[in-house]
Amino acid sequence: MKLRSIILGLAAAATMAACSSAPAALEIAITAADISLDVTRIEAKVGQMVNITMTNKGVLEHNFNIDDLGVKQPSLKPGDTGKFSFSATKPGTYNYYCGIAGHEQLARGDLVVTQ
């Protein structure tokens, strides 16, 4: 009887851990150069924390935005590095881009979020 209680307790704990575990955080390094981002596609899971380290190796300022997720990071001056995090609560393809005037069409990519 005691062994059965222990086994049931372990099974319940394992089930709860599996149900409540979020995917491991995703670490992404992006280099911004003049009117370009070197990472043009990021794949993540719903609820997965995406940690971005962005380095500006250009001569112009650059930033990072995902309008549909409310992500709007301050501009980085040439030579600066910034870190920020976000996650998506539903699947979809979200466009990210540099919001500096004239950069939006070339310095961009897609965040693809799946279950």
Q: Say what the pTM is.
A: 0.80
pLDDT above 90 covers what percent of the chain? Answer: 80
**Where does residue 35 fall: left (phi above 0), alpha (psi -120 to 50 degrees), or beta otherwise?**
left
Task: Name the residue ranges covered by the structural domains of the chain.
Answer: 23-114
pLDDT at 21: 76
Residue with token string 């609820």: 47
Query: What phi and psi, each to the nearest 5 degrees, are found at residue 16?
Result: -65, -40
Q: Which fold has domain 23-114?
A: Immunoglobulin-like (2.60.40)
Tokens of 30: 């992006």
Q: Is the pLDDT of residue 71 over 70?
A: yes
pLDDT at 22: 80
Question: Which is nearest to 100 in space by CA: 55, 56, 71, 62?
Answer: 62
pLDDT (tens digit per residue) in 2-56: 655 455 444 544 444 455 578 999 999 999 999 999 999 999 999 999 999 999 9
pLDDT above 70 covers what percent of the chain? Answer: 83
pLDDT at 19: 55
pLDDT at 8: 45
